[in-house]
């Protein structure tokens, strides 16, 4: 059986047999130790805050002698502690349940886009001025989270098609949903003030109203999951075995997913999306398996994961306030700390990861073979499309001009008004076209080297590095010029790529490991960006959001020049390596047999892709999906040979970003939609279709 037709192999970290002898004393000892640790963390948590009430003041409450301490405890600290307790239990149970039904150690409310779907649902209601009580808001979040999780699970064959595929499906879905959320935050900035910080998981609670309404939901879902523990043990034996033993596999999976999404939605409604708790808690518990036999039994795994989730949430909050002071607990979301912790866990898991054959497909494996004549026709049509997109981009905007006005402007004979408009417009159009072409060439290269048709340049950590560099400069040097912002963004992108590549190297480069570590770096970088915005410039989130959404607003010729130079220097180098790219897209052995120095070629190719992406991001900000969509569309049109794919992909990428930029600054003029949000809305449906098609190919090998 070939690599491409082999059945999916579940990840071993979630498949231990639930049977075997149960070491009861050790299990009891683990529970006792976990509860004691939880009590200690909770006690420390109660002593922290913005007021001067400390541990001694709280102890005096036992004698009823301190009314001020009682007021602080009841009004502020107890609601925060109970909120952390509730979401820790909810996310711990949800993460363990999702990992079990997906048989994938990286399944969680974050990687399955549950949090992103729930977040979008709540922001959409708030953007239009509707204020809902906790239960209706939770119901809305549940619908959004369930729809997102269902889509990701469907695209990744229930999570069993491999870790890399699950991560890519979940991250792309979360990116698309996050783009819509960001658009709402930008367009309705006044109505959504405070939701940027809340959107990263804040434990701040004004009272216990929301908690008292959502607590029965969390308790009910937890109880039902515990009752289903034995069924999950049987499911862990494999679908065939479980069916033979009389288990309705599909119904069990659906029930558990609904309960997990319900818990996640309740947590999001209460505190916003607190990142990676659902991933880390079950992973930490499973690491105890060598010393605590039987910990994989779900009636032990689930409650231990819940306790671990609470310790992670409260411990992160304690660490945040201990290091940065009590006010930091109000200003900075606790989810920033949990996301950084989760990103570290994800990178650690990825470094232990071995490539899963079925998730790795040659990106041109299913592309049709086209004739040279057809290739020339496609090249001509895409060139005409790109020229047309440039022409429309020059004509359209908040001020429409005629083609004759553009010709007069080129001849230097227009009036002051049109001269001003076109002088401001042409750098935007040039930036969009060149950045789109650079991202497309980089995406083609990354997909060939990684042999993964679902990879794209941002997954290498470049996007997060560029964003971190730019937002840091905008935060600490508000008057920095556009050239300085672009330079720092490019430097951040290259440093992030170097870090990801170094972490992924273990006696050789594993493509799946590179993707997973890149995803972890991306999440960690975005958490740091959130920290910078809410800690140092909380009233100007629109500035950072606009840049992170990929905008050509205010572009200058000096910002366009680095992208042009990168394209002129690096594109010919990539084209010259087209034979090596064709060979690397097949497997690791063929290039070596034919004399290709594989590791050096990989490094050079990925370095070129990183440079192209960093210059594009430094010029126009973060624009997603272009490096994914353009190479796929090119291969579908002209086949898998890179000598044909590269020019067509570059033209398609240029046209896509140019059209997105034109639509974004014309549709609701004089207001503008950042080009990156438009490309996400265009690219997301294509990506969904692509994943669905490749899912069908995986499940029905020919």
Burial class (CB in 10 A: 0-12, 13-18, 19+), 699: exposed
Q: Is residue 547 domain-resident?
A: no
SS3 of 431-462: the string is HHHHHHHHHHHHHHHHHHHHCCCCCCHHHHCH
Q: Which residues in the chain show pLDDT less than 70?
A: 1-22, 54-55, 57-67, 156-165, 167-168, 189-197, 329, 353-370, 452-454, 482, 507-512, 537-547, 587-589, 591-592, 594-596, 688, 690-702
Q: Do residues 171 and 460 make contact, with C-beta atoms less than 8 angstroms apart? A: no
pLDDT score for 31: 92
- What's the count of helices (H) and strands (E) in the chain, helices before strands? 30, 0
353-374 per-position pLDDT tens digit: 554 443 344 444 445 556 777 8
pLDDT score for 353: 58
Q: Is residue 181 domain-resident?
A: yes
Task: Tell me the C-alpha distance between 695 and 702, whole Å.
Answer: 13
Give the chain's length. 702
Task: Tell me the C-alpha distance between 402 and 395, whole Å.
Answer: 6
Phi, psi of 23 (to 5 degrees): -85, 85
Phi, psi of 658 (to 5 degrees): -65, -45
Q: Which two tokens stand for residue 624?
A: 């997603």
Do residues 328 and 405 both lie within one domain?
no
Task: Tell me the C-alpha distance between 631 and 456, whole Å.
Answer: 10
pLDDT score for 437: 92
Task: Tell me the C-alpha distance between 381 and 375, whole Å.
Answer: 10
DSSP summary character for residue 61:
G
pLDDT score for 552: 78
Do residues 234 and 276 both lie within one domain?
yes
Q: Do residues 77 and 237 make contact, with C-beta atoms less than 8 angstroms apart? A: no
Q: Do residues 345 and 276 make contact, with C-beta atoms less than 8 angstroms apart? A: yes
Phi, psi of 182 (to 5 degrees): -60, -40
Q: Is residue 499 domain-resident?
A: no
Phi, psi of 667 (to 5 degrees): -60, -45
Domain count, the chain: 2
Do residues 35 and 120 both lie within one domain?
yes
Q: Is residue 468 domain-resident?
A: no
DSSP summary character for residue 368:
P
Do residues 101 and 129 both lie within one domain?
yes
pLDDT score for 511: 65
Do residues 339 and 221 both lie within one domain?
yes
Task: Tell me the C-alpha distance between 610 and 500, whole Å.
Answer: 11
Give the other-Cβ count within 10 Å of 238's Cβ. Answer: 15
Q: Do residues 190 and 62 make contact, with C-beta atoms less than 8 angstroms apart? A: no
Q: Is residue 474 domain-resident?
A: no
Do residues 112 and 191 both lie within one domain?
yes
Do residues 272 and 224 both lie within one domain?
yes
Q: Which of 359, 381, 414 is the last residue of a domain?
A: 359
Residues with Cβ < 8 Å from 588, sequence gap 6 or more?
Answer: 598
Do residues 315 and 378 both lie within one domain?
no
605-637 per-position pLDDT tens digit: 888 888 888 888 878 877 877 888 888 888 888
Q: Residue 265 is part of a domain; what is its CATH number? A: 1.10.3470.10
Q: Which of 309, 332, 359 is the last residue of a domain?
A: 359
Do residues 431 and 317 both lie within one domain?
no
Domain range for residue 628? 372-457+552-697
Give the other-Cβ count within 10 Å of 529's Cβ. Answer: 23
Do residues 594 and 659 both lie within one domain?
yes
Task: Tell me the C-alpha distance between 615 and 466, whole Å.
Answer: 9
Do residues 53 and 112 both lie within one domain?
yes
Q: Which of 299, 331, 359 is the last residue of a domain?
A: 359
Q: Is residue 319 domain-resident?
A: yes
Q: Is residue 536 domain-resident?
A: no
Q: Which two tokens stand for residue 267?
A: 């947590």
Q: Is residue 528 domain-resident?
A: no
Task: Tell me the C-alpha distance between 110 and 171, whole Å.
Answer: 8
Do residues 173 and 261 both lie within one domain?
yes
């Amino acid at each position: 059986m070939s690599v491409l037709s082999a059945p999916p192999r579940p990840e071993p970290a979630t498949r231990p047999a639930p049977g075997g002898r149960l070491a009861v004393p050790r299990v009891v000892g683990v529970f006792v130790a976990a509860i004691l640790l939880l009590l200690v963390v909770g006690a420390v948590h109660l002593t922290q805050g913005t007021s001067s009430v400390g541990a001694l003041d709280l102890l005096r409450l036992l004698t009823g002698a301190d009314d001020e301490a009682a007021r602080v405890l009841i009004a502020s600290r107890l609601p925060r502690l109970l909120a952390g307790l509730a979401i820790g239990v909810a996310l711990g149970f949800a993460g363990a349940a999702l990992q079990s039904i997906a048989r994938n150690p990286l399944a969680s409310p974050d990687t399955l886009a549950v949090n992103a779907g729930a977040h979008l649902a709540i922001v959409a209601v708030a953007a239009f001025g509707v204020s809902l009580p906790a239960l209706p808001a939770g119901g809305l979040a549940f619908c959004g989270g369930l729809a997102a999780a269902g889509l990701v699970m469907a695209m990744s064959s229930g999570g069993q098609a491999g870790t890399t595929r699950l991560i890519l499906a979940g991250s792309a879905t979360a990116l698309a949903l996050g783009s819509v959320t960001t658009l709402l935050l930008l367009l309705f900035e006044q109505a959504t003030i405070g939701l940027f910080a809340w959107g990263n998981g804040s434990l701040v609670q004004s009272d216990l109203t929301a908690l008292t309404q959502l607590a029965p939901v969390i308790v009910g879902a937890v109880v039902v999951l515990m009752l289903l523990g034995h069924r999950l043990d049987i499911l862990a034996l494999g679908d065939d075995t479980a069916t033979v033993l009389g288990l309705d596999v599909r119904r069990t999976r659906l029930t558990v997913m609904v309960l997990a999404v319900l818990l996640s939605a309740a947590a999001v409604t209460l505190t916003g999306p607190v990142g990676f708790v659902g991933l880390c808690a079950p992973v930490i518990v499973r690491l105890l398996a060598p010393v605590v036999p039987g910990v994989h039994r779900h009636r032990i795994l689930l409650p231990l994961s819940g306790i671990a989730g609470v310790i992670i949430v409260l411990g992160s909050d304690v660490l945040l306030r201990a290091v940065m002071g009590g006010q930091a607990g109000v200003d900075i979301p606790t989810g920033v700390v949990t996301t950084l912790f989760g990103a570290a866990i994800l990178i650690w898991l990825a470094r232990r990861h071995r490539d899963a054959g079925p998730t790795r497909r040659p990106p041109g494996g299913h592309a049709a073979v086209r004739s040279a004549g057809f290739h020339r026709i496609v090249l001509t049509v895409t060139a005409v499309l790109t020229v047309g997109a440039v022409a429309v981009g020059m004509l359209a905007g908040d001020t429409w001009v005629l083609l004759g006005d553009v010709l007069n402007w080129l001849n230097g004979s227009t009036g002051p008004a049109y001269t001003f408009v076109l002088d401001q417009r042409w750098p935007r159009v040039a930036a969009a076209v060149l950045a789109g072409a650079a991202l497309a060439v980089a995406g083609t290269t990354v997909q060939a080297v990684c042999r993964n048709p679902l990879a794209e340049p941002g997954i290498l950590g470049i996007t997060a590095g560029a964003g971190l560099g730019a937002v840091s400069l905008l935060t600490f040097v508000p008057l920095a010029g556009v050239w300085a912002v672009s330079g720092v963004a490019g430097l951040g992108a290259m440093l992030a790529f170097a870090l990801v590549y170094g972490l992924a190297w273990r006696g050789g480069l594993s493509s799946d490991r590179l993707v997973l570590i890149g995803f972890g770096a991306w999440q960690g970088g975005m958490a740091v960006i959130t920290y910078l915005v809410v800690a140092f410039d909380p009233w100007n989130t629109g500035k950072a959001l606009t840049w992170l959404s990929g905008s050509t607003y205010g572009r200058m010729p000096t910002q366009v020049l680095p992208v042009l130079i990168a394209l002129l220097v690096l594109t010919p180098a990539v084209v010259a390596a087209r034979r090596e790219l064709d060979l690397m897209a097949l497997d690791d052995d063929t290039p070596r047999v034919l004399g290709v120095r594989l590791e050096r070629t990989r490094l050079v190719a990925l370095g070129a892709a990183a440079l192209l992406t960093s210059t594009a991001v430094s010029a126009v900000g973060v624009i997603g999906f272009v490096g994914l969509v353009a190479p796929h569309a090119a291969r579908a049109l002209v086949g898998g040979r890179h000598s044909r794919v590269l020019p067509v992909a570059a033209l398609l990428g240029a046209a896509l970003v140019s059209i997105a930029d034109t639509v974004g600054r014309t549709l609701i003029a004089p207001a503008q939609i950042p080009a990156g949000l438009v490309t996400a809305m265009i690219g997301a449906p294509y990506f969904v279709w692509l994943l669905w098609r490749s899912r069908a190919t995986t499940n029905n090998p020919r």
